[in-house]
C-alpha cells in the first residue's frame, strides 16, 4: 500500500521554537518529513509553513486521530491550519463569457495531466464557447444573466456548484461582477484572471488605457476574488516589455499569452496546496519537485 502523504499549511504568531515543536510532533506520530518550507514576516510577526510528511508503514492513525492530536498542539501555539491528504483530486468549475484563450489553455493542460484536478464543468453566461467544452468532453452549462436576474442566476450557480461538490471556481475571463454573497460563499476558492498588472488599470478595457498611457510593460494578475473588485490576494503575476509602437490590438495579443501562463500557474499553486492567505496577502510557496 502506498504510504500516506499529508500536506499541512500553517500560520501563527512567530514564536521561539515553533519549527522544533512542529517537526517534533510529526516525528512523534511516526511521520517522515518530505519537505518543510517556512517564511517569517518579521514586520507583522507572523510565521508561515508548508509541511509535507509521509507516514511510516507502521503508522495506523486515522484522519480523525491525527487531526485531534494536531488540534491540541494548535491550541497551545495559536495555529491556524489546514491539512490535505492527497486522496482525491479537487473538482474545478471554469467560468467564461466570450474569450476563449484561457479556457483552451486550461482544458489542454488538464487533458495532458498537467493540472492535478478534475475539471467537472464549464459554465458561461453565453453559448459561444460550448464547442470548446464539447471538444474536450467537459460538461457545459449555460447560465444567462442580466441585471434583473442576477440574484436568481447566482443562486442557481451555487446550487450547481455545491451539488457537484466543486472545490475551486476559476474565472477564466468571466465578464460578470460576482455579488458579495456569492464570493463569500466560496472564500479563497474563486480565482480570477485580470488582464492587467494590478493594481494598475483595474476594471474594464485595460489594454486601451495602457495604450493611452504609453506603458512600457504590460502584464496579467491572478488573484482570489473578494468583495473589493480586483483587489483580492494576488497569487501570480507576470509582465512583458512593449514599446511606443504597440497598438491596443498588439497589446491585447501579447497580454493574452501572459494571461494563460499566469492563470495556469495560479491554479496549479492552489491545487498543490502552495498558498496561505493572510489578510489580503497570499503567501505562495515554490514548488518542491513533488
Model confidence pLDDT, tens digit, residues 196-209: 654 566 666 776 77
The CATH architecture that domain 90-284 belongs to is: 3-Layer(aba) Sandwich (3.40)
Round to whole Å and give the CA distance between 87 and 98: 35
Which CATH number among 1.10.600.10, 3.40.50.300, 3.60.21.10, 3.30.70.260 corresponds to the domain 5-84?
3.30.70.260
Round to whole Å and give the CA distance between 232 and 247: 29
Query: By CB neighbour count within 10 A (0-12 exposed, 13-18 middle, 19+ buried), where does 214 fall?
Result: exposed
Maximum Cα interatomic distance, the chain, rounded to a whole number of Å:
66
Tell me where in the chain the CATH 3.30.70.260 domain(s) lie. 5-84
What are the start-end ranges of the H helices in 164-247?
A: 180-185, 206-213
- Judge if pTM exceeds 0.75: yes
Q: Check pLDDT > 80 for residue 268.
A: yes
3-class state of residue 241 by DSSP: strand
For 166-199, b/e burial (b = at least 16 CB within 10 A) is bbbbbbbbbeeebeeebbebbebbbbbbbbbbbe
**What amino acid positions are annotated as catalytic residues?**
230
Among 93-97, 211-215, 246-250, name the one with the lowest average pLDDT: 211-215
Cα dihedral sign, 15-19-22-24 = negative
pLDDT tens-place string over residues 93-145: 999 999 999 999 999 999 999 999 999 999 999 999 999 999 999 999 999 99
Tell me where in the chain the CATH 3.40.50.170 domain(s) lie. 90-284
What DSSP string describes 139-153? -EEE----TTTHHHH
Amino acid at each position: 500500500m502506498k504510504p500516506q502523504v499529508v500536506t499541512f499549511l500553517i500560520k501563527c504568531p512567530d514564536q521561539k521554537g515553533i519549527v522544533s515543536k512542529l517537526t517534533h510532533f510529526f516525528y512523534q506520530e511516526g511521520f517522515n518529513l518530505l519537505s518543510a518550507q517556512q517564511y517569517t514576516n518579521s514586520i507583522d510577526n507572523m510565521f508561515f509553513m508548508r509541511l509535507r510528511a509521509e507516514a511510516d508503514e507502521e503508522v495506523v492513525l486515522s484522519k480523525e486521530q491525527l487531526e485531534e492530536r494536531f488540534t491540541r498542539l494548535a491550541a497551545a501555539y495559536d495555529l491556524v491550519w489546514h491539512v490535505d491528504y492527497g486522496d482525491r483530486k479537487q473538482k474545478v468549475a471554469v467560468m467564461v463569457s466570450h474569450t476563449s484563450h484561457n479556457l483552451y489553455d486550461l482544458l489542454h493542460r488538464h487533458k495532458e495531466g498537467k493540472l492535478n484536478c478534475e475539471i467537472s464543468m464549464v459554465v458561461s453566461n453565453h453559448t459561444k464557447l460550448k464547442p470548446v467544452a464539447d471538444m474536450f468532453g467537459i460538461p457545459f452549462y449555460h447560465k444567462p444573466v442580466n441585471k434583473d436576474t442576477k440574484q436568481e442566476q447566482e443562486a442557481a450557480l451555487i446550487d450547481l456548484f455545491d451539488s457537484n461538490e466543486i472545490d475551486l471556481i476559476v474565472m477564466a475571463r468571466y465578464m460578470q461582477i460576482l455579488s458579495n454573497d456569492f464570493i463569500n460563499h466560496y472564500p479563497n476558492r474563486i480565482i480570477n484572471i485580470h488582464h492587467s498588472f494590478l493594481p494598475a488599470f483595474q476594471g474594464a478595457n485595460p489594454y486601451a488605457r495602457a495604450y493611452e498611457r504609453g506603458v512600457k510593460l504590460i502584464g496579467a494578475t491572478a488573484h482570489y476574488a473578494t468583495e473589493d473588485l480586483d483587489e483580492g490576494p494576488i497569487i501570480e503575476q507576470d509582465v512583458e516589455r512593449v514599446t511606443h509602437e504597440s497598438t491596443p490590438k498588439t497589446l491585447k495579443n501579447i497580454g493574452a499569452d501572459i494571461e494563460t501562463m499566469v492563470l495556469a500557474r495560479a491554479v496549479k499553486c492552489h491545487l498543490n496546496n502552495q498558498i496561505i492567505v493572510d489578510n489580503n496577502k497570499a503567501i505562495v510557496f515554490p514548488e518542491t519537485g513533488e
